[in-house]
Amino acid sequence: MADRLAGVPLAPYTTLRTGGPARAFTQARTQDELIATVAEADRADEPVLVLGGGSNLVVCDDGFDGLVVRVATLGVEATSQDGRVLVTVQAGEDWDALVARCVAEGWSGVECLSGVPGLVGSTPIQNVGAYGQDVSQTVAAVRVYDRRAGEVRDLTAAECGFAYRHSAFKHDPGRHVVLAVTYALERSPLSGPVAYKELAARLGVEIGARVPLAEAREAVLELRRGKGMVLDPGDPDTRSAGSFFTNPVLGPEEAAALELRAPGHPRWDMPDGTVKVPAAWLIENAGFPKGYEKGRVRISTKHTLALTNPTGEAGAAELLALAREVREGVHEKFGVWLVNEPVLVGVRL
Ligand SMILES: Cc1cc2nc3c(=O)[nH]c(=O)nc-3n(C[C@H](O)[C@H](O)[C@H](O)COP(=O)(O)OP(=O)(O)OC[C@H]3O[C@@H](n4cnc5c(N)ncnc54)[C@H](O)[C@@H]3O)c2cc1C
C-alpha cells in the first residue's frame, strides 16, 4: 500500500487553486493499489475523495476530513475489432496526452476533445464534451470498482447512463472508482463529422465535413486558447474549473416562461422537446460581463462561463460568493436557476 501523508494542502492539486489540507493523502499507482486503498478506507468508515487532475473540483477552505486518493495508474493498450480500434486506458493517464496520441496514430473520434484538462478516469464522470463531441460517443466500456458491492465490474456504455455533462456516476456520487476506460475509435486519418458551427467556421468547412485529424486538433486548441480553456500557467484566466455552469435544459413550460421574459433569446431546440439555453448568454444579459470582479475572484476576461481565481490567493468561499451572485442574478432576471458543473467538496452553492 502507498504511503499516507497527513495535512497535504489540496489547493496545488486543483486548477482553481482552492482547498485546505487533506487529513490523509496518498497516490495509487496500480489498479490493485487503488482498489485496496479505497476498500481499506471504506472498511474503516473513512471518507474518501478520489482525485484526478483536480480540474473539475471546488474544494472548501477547511480541506477534506478524510483520505484523498490521487489516481496515478498508467497504461494504454490498443486492439483491433471489426475495423475499429479499442483503446483501453488506465484512469490516471492524462486525457490530452491520450487525445494527442489518438490523433498521431490515426484513431478518430476524440480529436475535438483536445485540450480538456484532467485524467482519463474522470472523462466518463461528467461525460466530458466540447466542440460537438463528448465521450459518450466513443466510450465502449468502463471498468470500475463498485464500493457498495465491493467488487470490480465492467460497465457497458448503456450502463453508464450518459447524458449532457451527466452520467450514472454523477447520479450516484462516490459509488464507483473508475479504474480504466475503453474507447472505440475509427481507424481514419479524418476527424468525425464536424458538428460545431464555430469549429466549422474556423476550419473553413461546412457542418458535417471531415478534416485531417491534426487540423481538427489544432483548430480546437486555438479556439480553446482564445477562451482561456487550455491550462497555461502564464494565463490567469485558466485558473478555473472550466465552465462553472452548465447550459440549462428547460422543459416546455420553463422554456415558454423564458421566452416571455426574453423573446427571441438564443436556444437550441433538442430532439426530445426540451430547450437548451446558453448559460453564457443568460449570465451576460443578467449584467455579468467578462472580467466582472468580486474581490480576488472574477469571471474570466475571455469566457463568461469560467469563474477564476487569477492570483490563486482567493479561497473557495470567495469563489462561491461570486458563483452565488451570478446564479441569483440570472434567476432574478430570467427565472432560471443555473447548475454548477464542477464537483463541490465541503461547500454548497
Ligand atoms: C481550463 C479548463 C477547461 C475545461 N474544459 C472542459 C470542456 O471543454 N469540457 C468538459 O467537459 N470539461 C471541461 N473542463 C472540466 C474538467 O477538465 C473535466 O471535467 C475533467 O474530466 C476533469 O478531470 P479531472 O481528472 O481533473 O477530475 P477531478 O477534478 O480530479 O475530479 C472530478 C470529479 O471526478 C471524480 N473522479 C476523478 N477521477 C475519478 C476516478 N478515477 N474514479 C471515480 N471518480 C473520479 C472526483 O472525485 C470528482 O468528483 C475544463 C476544466 C478547466 C480547468
* pLDDT single digits (tens) 121-132: 999 999 999 999
Q: What is the pLDDT of residues 289-347, one digit of tens each?
A: 999 999 999 999 999 999 999 999 999 999 999 999 999 999 999 999 999 999 999 99
Ligand 1 atom 17, closest CA:
117
Nearest to 336 by CA among 286, 291, 287, 290: 286
| Mean pLDDT computed over 260-272 | 94
165 is catalytic: yes
Q: Spell out the residues 6+ positions from residue 233 whose beta carbon is closer than 8 angstroms to its own.
A: none
Ligand 1 atom 1, closest CA:
229
What is the distance between the alpha carbons of residues 54 and 12, in angstroms, rounded to a whole number? Answer: 9
Model pLDDT, residue 1: 64
Amino acid symbol at 110: V
Give yes or no for residue 2 having a pLDDT over 80: no
| Burial zone of 346 (CB within 10 Å; 0-12 exposed, 13-18 middle, 19+ buried) | middle
C-alpha cell at 103: 490523433
111 is catalytic: no
Residue burial 146-165, b: 16+ Cβ < 10 Å; e: rest? ebeeeeeeebebeebbbeeb
Q: What is the pLDDT of residues 139-189, one digit of tens each?
A: 999 999 999 999 999 999 999 999 988 999 999 999 999 999 999 999 999
Give yes or no for residue 196 having a pLDDT over 70: yes
Which atom of ligand 1 lies closest to the CA of 92?
A: 41
pTM: 0.95
Beta bridge pairs of residue 153: 144
What is the distance between the alpha carbons of residues 81 and 144, in angstroms, rounded to a whole number? Answer: 22
What is the distance between the alpha carbons of residues 310 and 298, in angstroms, rounded to a whole number? Answer: 8
Q: How confident is the model at residue 83 (pLDDT cuts 50, 70, 90)?
A: confident
